[in-house]
Chains A and B, each alone.
Chain A
Amino acid sequence: DTGVSQDPRHKITKRGQNVTFRCDPISEHNRLYWYRQTLGQGPEFLTYFQNEAQLEKSRLLSDRFSAERPKGSFSTLEIQRTEQGDSAMYLCASSPRALDDSKYEQYFGPGTRLTVT
């Protein structure tokens, strides 16, 4: 399977614990995006990388959230001191670096569903 993969698929944690999610993009894609999706809402942009550079972070991304893409391949999203409001589906997507408009074609992983109790 050469699609975007995410691990774990489900995570249940207690409030105050730290969690880390991993995303493996499509191998030839140099852009990687993180989104958060809550029930009844569309995905909301969190942050994105071009290669290993983090180019933009949403205001939704509080100081408790950090994302890395150390070698420009896989990425991790860490949430420290989780809160019940962090419960959501965390989606990762990748896209090719393209000079044409195909750069907007983002390919999504299955997501990691986080439940904070």
Chain B
Amino acid sequence: AQSVAQPEDQVNVAEGNPLTVKCTYSVSGNPYLFWYVQYPNRGLQFLLKYITGDNLVKGSYGFEAEFNKSQTSFHLKKPSALVSDSALYFCAVGDGDDKIIFGKGTRLHILP
């Protein structure tokens, strides 16, 4: 069965510093990987996806993610964090039947 793991419940980063939110995956077959963000009192928003192609995927709000097949990882990154990036981030994987399996989430705190 497809699954993702987010090893960190919370990540704290100073504003202006680079940020990384970690995700590892377990899939049979080709991975369909996603990152979503959830702001307080709002629905999940799609950030980016990896299907095939370049291992570095660029998404919304300046975020990018690096697909690493050998390490089965799909970490979310941003070169310079903003306070407004503070939110709950979910890594997810497509299950091959048009459904998405989400990780538990990582709460990102950007400190001013």
Contacts and interface: CB of A to CB of B under 8 A. Distances in A.
Interface of A: 4, 31, 33, 40-45, 48, 56, 91, 93, 95, 101, 103-111
Interface of B: 32, 34, 36, 41-46, 49, 51, 90, 92, 94, 97-105
Contacts of B44: 43, 91, 93, 108
Contacts of B36: 108
Contacts of B98: 31, 48, 95, 103-104
Given A101-B32, A104-B32, A106-B46, A33 B99 contact: yes
Nearest to B52: A101
B51 A101 contact: yes
B104 A104 contact: no
List of 6 A-B pairs having minimum Cβ-Cβ separation, nearest first: A42-B102, A108-B43, A108-B44, A101-B51, A110-B43, A43-B102
